[in-house]
Structure formats: C-alpha cells, structure tokens
Amino acid sequence: MTVKRNALITGSTSGIGLGIARGLAAIGHNIMLNGFADREEIEHLKAEISSTYGVRVGYTNADVSNPEAIAGAVEQTKADIGEIDILVNNAGIQFVSPIEEFPIEKWNAIIAIDLASAFHFIRLALPGMKQRGFGRIINVASAHALVASPFKAAYVSAKHGIAGLTKTVALEAAEHGITVNAICPGYVLTPLVEKQIPDQAHARGISEEAVVRDVLLAAQPTKRFIKVEEVAALAAFLADEQTTSITGAIIPIDGGWTAH
C-alpha cells in the first residue's frame, strides 16, 4: 500500500508536470500545483484532481525564476497540503538560436527556470526531509542532460547542470532516507510539441507524419513520441517507498535516443 505523502510539482499546469501531478494523485498523494494558467483553468484543475483522486490539492503561482517567490511557494505548500515529502522540479522553458545571436535575457531565464529553481527548491525542502528521514527529489531533466543538439546552448547547459546537481545532492542526502534522481525524456507529446507539428508541416510543405518521423523524431529510434503517462509512471516509481537504493541516477526515457 502506498503511504500518503505530499508532493510539490513545479510547472504542473501543463504537459509533463500535469501528467506527473495526476500520476502521483492517482496513488493517493496530496498535490501542490504550480505554473501559469488563467484562474478559471487552475480552479477547474484543482477541483478535478481533488474529486477524481480524493486528495488535497493546492496551487502556487510562484514564478520559479525568482528565489523569493520560491521561498513563498515552499511556505504556501506547508500551509495548503503539509510538509514536502516529494519534490518534482519540472518547470522548464526552451529557446533555440545560434550562440552568437543567443539573447542574453533568454540565457538568463533558462538558467534560472531550468536549473537554479531546482537548487532553490532543494535547499529549502531538504532540511525538513532530513528531519523526517524521508524524501524523494525527482528532477525532470531531458535527453539533453546527456547529449547536445546545436542551437540549444542554454537548455543543454541547464540540463547537464541538473544532472550534476542531482548527483551532488544524492550524495549529501544519502544517509537520510532521501533519494535524488533525474528523469531524462526524449520527445514527449505535450501541447507545446503538438502545436509545432502542423506549423512545421506547413512551413516545409510536407505531411504531418513526415514532420513527426523525419524532423522531430529523427534522433529517436522508436520513431514515436513518449507519452506523458510513461514519464508520470517513472516519476511514481521513483517516488515509491521501496525505491530506497535508486539515487543519484540519471535515467533516460527516450526511446533509445541516447543509445546512439
């Protein structure tokens, strides 16, 4: 039987984060949502997850590029659902450009959201986890934590950085019942990626199937998208009470991409 825990998932109003929130709620954990969306959508999500799974659901609109907002989110989580047992650092953005033209503000935003936010959430959540002798920290990295692609200097740097942070904190927390792991998805069909398919088909004058196979999934041997539910299942596995010896692991879920 799963012990009921409290989980904060950053960037969980959409895509992978929302999938992980649903997956953790489905096994009985209370959920703290975070991310951007209009108020009506947030209220709908909170009510829907709470009534479907019978768990407490809170929400913080903290912009995770701001360390003060992160401190506020940690406090609000305690007030709304309780002490953080499971921390999923998922919020992330992307920007694609040759490095010579890479806008400095985009570099700063990606490093802040995709890397530094995890540092801040971890440093604030870890003391309580240590006190209680239990914690699960799951960092949503990317195949780009393991390999690079051109024109993604900030994203690849941030995701490689998350891999280093994961290993370091895993060592520091190892004797306290806390595991720290990184999940490295290849292409996942989230609203963000979905939207690109018709646009690319139109721009290139090829079919949507050709965009998926020859453009988006060129590096992914399975030639199919990873489903949000598959990533959520991996997160739920890592959050389980039994997975005490999996820590400091950088785990690909990439359809064979990084086997190349």
Q: How far apart are CA 27 and CA 22, in angstroms?
A: 9
Residue 204 binds ligand NAD (CB under 6 A): no
Task: Round to whole Å and give the CA distance between 23 and 17.
Answer: 10
CB of 177 to ligand NAD, least distance (A): 26
Instruction: Output 6 or 190, the one with its CB closest to ligand NAD.
Output: 190
Establish if 13 lies at the interface with ligand NAD (CB under 6 A): yes
Active-site annotation holds for 155 = yes
Q: How far is CA 36 from CA 27, 72, 198, in A?
A: 25, 16, 24
Long-range contacts from 104-109, C-beta under 8 angstroms, 24+ separation: 106/154, 107/153, 107/154, 109/65
Only segment of 44-52, 62-70, 163-171, 204-212 that touches ligand NAD (CB under 6 A): 62-70
Spatial distance between the Cα atoms of 27 and 237, rounded to a whole number of angstroms: 11
Per-residue binder mask for ligand NAD (CB under 6 A), 14-53, x = binder:
xxxx----------------xxx-----------------
CB atoms within 10 A of CB 21: 30
User: Which of 53, 59, 155, 187 is flagged as catalytic?
Assistant: 155
Report how many residues bind ligand NAD under the rule CB under 6 A.
Answer: 28
Query: Contact letters (x/-) for ligand NAD, 118-157, by CB under 6 A?
Result: ----------------------x-x---------------
Q: What is the largest CA-CA distance in the chain?
A: 58
Q: How many CB atoms lie within 10 A of CB 31?
A: 29
Minimum distance from residue 185 beta carbon to ligand NAD (Å)? 4
Q: Which residues bind ligand NAD (CB under 6 A)?
A: 11-17, 34-36, 63-65, 90-93, 113-114, 140, 142, 185, 187-188, 190-193
